[in-house]
Structure 1
Amino acid sequence: MFNRFLASIGIGSATIDTLLEKPRYMPGEEVRGVVKIRGGNVEQRIETIQLSVMTEYIRESNDHKYTQHGEVGRFHVCPPFTLNAGENREVPFSFQLPHQTPLTIGRAPVWVKTELDVRGGVDPGDNDRIEVIPTPAMNTVLEALSLLGFRLRKAECEYSSRLGGRMPFIQELEFVPTTQFRGQLDELEVMFYPSDRELELVLQIDRRARGLSSFFAEAMDMDESFVRTRFTNEQLTAGPNELAHQLADIISRYA
């Protein structure tokens, strides 16, 4: 009885260790691994094993910025079961990494959080960092922007109830022009909205102030345009050179 009480407050309870198949993934890719569970000093009822894909994003309140954890996706990987005292058990799992998972560039960590839902006890957990790299479609866009002279300056996940979709945040990739658009733009922010068949982009085009009217427009944040555009996988297979021409046409209309 005393051991059961200790387990209920986390002493002598079950422990877990999640092992992922590999450390690097692309959004939309299948994540596979195994959760290793070791029973504690008493038998415990496990309601479920929950895996969550987590990241961090920036919020601002009263001119103060702070970091908050954000959940990208949540997955339950097994039905309820009874874990005997001292028992070792392995639970394999697989899930699709959500398409909206941020890329781990700049200040955007991503990790898989594992939680064991123990009835009447403290839930043990485990965190495993992963690297999230661009998909081939995203790489085509990034290469096209490089051809147009845009250099990545910053990448952050920021709170946005309007642009985040089902999530309260969105990853913004901030580029500065170095050649073609250097005298026309202050910066270009790019947001990815990938899916299986296409890649949607939101471009935030920040025009450089030119003249008094442009100066006042900049002061009132009226110098920014938000542009949505979509490219199918077939269009993206044409390569970065062709895409660079299309992006240049779009940006020029708002520069």
Structure 2
Amino acid sequence: MSFFNKMLASVGVGAAEIDTHLEKASYHPGEEIRGMVHIRGGNVEQKVDHIYIKVMTEYIREHDDKKVRETYTIAKYHVADHLLVRKGERLQIPFSFPLPLETPMTLSRQPVWIHTGLDIDHAVDPNDRDYIEVTPHPYATVVLQAAQELGFRFKEATCEYHPRLGRGVPFVQEIEFYPGREFSSRVEELEFIFNLERDGIHVLVEVDRRGRGFSGWLERSFEMDERTAWMSLSQSDLQRGNRYVADVLGELIYRQAR
């Protein structure tokens, strides 16, 4: 094993490489992610201290009146420790973990990716990034379909810095809708923030009221046209279907839009 090859490997030339293979590319929060970490040895033998996988995303934060994107690790999972990767050797290490309930959906091009890394002392650490699609959790799907039944149309989704509402993460995903005909005279915009639980879902519903005349202008000027309320749905509530949830949601919106 030449000193020259060791030196090159320490800066990433001819070092071990990794490639993570996932069973599929689309998941919903709470679903099990399974896959295999493929390691290919480089030109020299290397000791790997740790193999880890992170679930990562981005959120928007205002700083000095500017919006900046910040990267955040939602969860980090241990895969293996203390491996010796010989020259040219090929290894495969299986893994599985649940996608955290706090993972945002990949609506409006919201990025979510799986980052796999090797910790190697005195060397550039190899890593791999795999983007995934995150679809709505089945509980969230019922709420979204209920909104659709009420005529609301998806507008956009953004992840914004909000540590108080983030429940373990420093951001929330805000999902915005245009009103349909039934609510168009009362509602300018509808917004959801989902908080998932194992046995149900809490939805922060924000109704942006459509104000008229001077009083409407006054409310908009002082942001008094926005009304928020929590809607909590148990698993049994959700099992009653879209129509039941639409009735609950519709009643809440009417109250907030008065």
TM-score range, shorter chain: over 0.9
Could you list the per-position Cα deviations for residues 176-216 of structure 1 after superposition, in whole angstroms to 9, with x for gaps in the alignment?
11222111111111011112211111112211123323321
Is the Cα–Cα contact under 8 Å of residues 16 and 42 in structure 2 kept in the other structure?
A: yes
How far apart, CA to CA, are the structure 2 residues paired with 1:141 and 1:102?
16
- Corresponding position of 2:43: 41
- Corresponding position of 1:116: 118
How far apart, CA to CA, are the structure 2 residues paired with 1:208 and 1:173?
18
Q: Please, which of 150, 153, 166 is the counterpart of residue 151 of structure 1?
A: 153
Is the Cα–Cα contact under 8 Å of residues 59 and 70 in structure 2 kept in the other structure?
A: yes
1:92 aligns with 2:94: yes
Pairing 1:1-255 to 2, within 5 Å after superposition: 1-255=3-257
Give the number of aligned pairs. 255
How far apart, CA to CA, are the structure 2 residues paired with 1:191 and 1:208?
20
Q: Give the aligned residue type for 2:70.
A: Q
Q: Give the aligned residue type for 1:240.
A: N
How far apart, CA to CA, are the structure 2 residues paired with 1:253 and 1:70?
37
Could you list the per-position Cα deviations for residues 24-50 of structure 1 after superposition, in whole angstroms to 9, with x for gaps in the alignment?
111100000000001112221111111
Structure 1, unaligned stretches of length 5 or more? none
- Matched position secondary structure for 1:174: strand
Is the Cα–Cα contact under 8 Å of residues 228 and 256 in structure 2 kept in the other structure?
A: no
Q: CA deviation at 1:79?
A: 2.2
- Matched position secondary structure for 2:108: coil
- Matched position secondary structure for 1:242: helix
Deviates more, 1:157-166 or 1:87-96: 157-166
Q: What is the aligned-residue RMSD (CA, Å)? A: 1.3
How far apart, CA to CA, are the structure 2 residues paired with 1:80 and 1:212?
70
Structure 2, unaligned stretches of length 5 or more? none
Quick one: percent identity of the two aligned structures?
44
Deviates more, 1:223-232 or 1:143-152: 223-232
Is the Cα–Cα contact under 8 Å of residues 56 and 114 in structure 2 kept in the other structure?
A: yes
Is the Cα–Cα contact under 8 Å of residues 148 and 179 in structure 1 kept in the other structure?
A: no
Is the Cα–Cα contact under 8 Å of residues 137 and 199 in structure 1 kept in the other structure?
A: yes
**Consecutive aligned runs of 4 or more in structure 1 exceeding 4 Å deviation:** none
Q: Give the aligned residue type for 1:216.
A: L
How far apart, CA to CA, are the structure 2 residues paired with 1:83 and 1:173?
46
